[in-house]
Amino acid sequence: MLLNPELHCRTSPTDVLAFLGGLTLAFYLMKLTWRCWCGLRAFILSEHWQVDFRTYGRWAVVTGATSGIGKAYAFELAKRGLDVVLISRSEDKLRIVAKEIENEYDRKTRTIRVDFTDGCNIYPAIAKELQGLEIGILVNNVGMICSDNFAYFLEIPEAEEKITQIINCNMLSVPQMTRLVLPSMVEREKGLIINISSEMGVRPQPLLALYSASKVFVTYFSQCLHAEYKSKGITVQCVAPLMVSTNMTHNMTVNGLVKSAPAFACEAIKTVGHSSYTSGCLSHALQSAALELFLPDWLRMSTFLIRKLRNLPRIKVHGNKASKEKERLIAKE
């Protein structure tokens, strides 16, 4: 007996498209839900679920520790009960910061004066100073930027020297410092490495090409290292802030978008244990999401926007310019 064709259940192309559309919508809703949960856990719930940093080890090492984000992290770690090794290029500033930490938090400090732009020859001396310390935390923070304004690559002042300095300071310092402290962490099966990257290491930023590329290195190195060593008890966190008021950003006015260094470090350090990659604070996470939505790469890389940025007024730097540029070695973001 033949069945009535009208009774057959047929799937039309419209039904297929509707099904695929539903799957796509469900996927993006799940992705959004997951991101919201991660943000809630990292920036809200972390207030109540904070890590005991003393379990990592007795000492924390912070590079670029005499101003900006580096100094703020050093104070936050001392506040949480760790002794701190401060590394930077200014002996006077190291002495001042060390005294402040000792007086305010009654923690031990050690100082190491080096210039991270000098390349590989500084690390044997650092290794000697760190020998015998139970180092539980490393904060790779030291960094520098190319110039005081948006500029084409060939417009970088003293480009030959500056390229080497930025690579040595922003990039080489991260794996070299990691190499010094990671073996003992692996041996104890406990350790925390915090690498300070930048939003410019998330998406390319023309007219800051060298700085942006150096931050991509920090971001990728951090993520790969975390994947390699998390099974051995090591946490590697990459922190990618937006605008923070420091020497590098000419101490710009703090507002709803721009964080002060102490406020940023206070929020960022609470995300440890809750996120291996973070913008550091809720404000910057929301700004990053907005940039992703409203400033896609095709617009960021457009000739129109590049020309607009290039024509912004040059930032005026008071005092000795060479000295100001050197100061940025100890200020992050």
The correct answer on CATH 3.40.50.920 for the domain covering 58-327 is: no
Q: Which residue shows structure tokens 């050093």?
A: 74
CA atoms within 13 A on the CB side of 64: 33
Q: Hey, how many other C-beta atoms are within 10 angstroms of the C-beta on 197?
A: 28
State the average pLDDT over residues 152-177: 93
Query: Each residue of 261-275: pLDDT tens digit?
Result: 999 999 999 999 999
Query: Each residue of 65-76: pLDDT tens digit?
Result: 999 999 999 999
Answer for the pair 229, 244: CB distance below 8 angstroms, yes or no.
no
Q: Please list the active-site residues.
A: 211
**pLDDT range class, residue 150, cuts 50, 70, 90:** confident
Q: Which helix (H) or strand (E) holds 85?
A: strand 83-88
Closest CA to 44 of 244, 285, 256: 285
State the average pLDDT over residues 295-309: 85
Residue 313's SS3 state is coil
Answer for the pair 49, 274: CB distance below 8 angstroms, yes or no.
yes
Closest CA to 141 of 64, 31, 248: 64
Query: Each residue of 77-113: pLDDT tens digit?
Result: 999 999 999 999 999 999 999 999 999 999 999 999 9
Which tokens hold the place of 113?
């004066």
How many Å apart are CA 325 and CA 123, to the nearest integer?
A: 23
pLDDT of residue 159: 84
> What type of residue sits at position 87?
I
Residue 79's SS3 state is helix
pLDDT above 70 (res 6):
no
How many Å apart are CA 206 and CA 226, to the nearest integer?
A: 29
State the average pLDDT over residues 176-186: 98
Task: Report phi then psi at 191, rounded to 5.
Answer: 175, 155
Closest CA to 200 of 187, 219, 185: 219
Answer for the pair 167, 114: CB distance below 8 angstroms, yes or no.
no
> What type of residue sits at position 163?
I
Query: Each residue of 191-247: pLDDT tens digit?
Result: 999 999 999 888 888 999 999 999 999 999 999 999 999 999 999 999 999 999 998
How many Å apart are CA 111 and CA 159, to the nearest integer?
A: 31
Between 331 and 236, the higher pLDDT residue? 236
How many Å apart are CA 273 and CA 229, to the nearest integer?
A: 15
Q: Which helix (H) or strand (E) holds 234?
A: strand 234-239
Domain locations along the chain: 58-327
pLDDT above 50 (res 327):
no
* Segment 317-322 long-range contacts (CB within 8 Å, at least 24 positions apart): 317/148, 317/250
pLDDT of residue 43: 73
pLDDT above 70 (res 38):
yes
Give the pTM: 0.85
User: Mean of the per-residue pLDDT values for the chain?
Assistant: 87
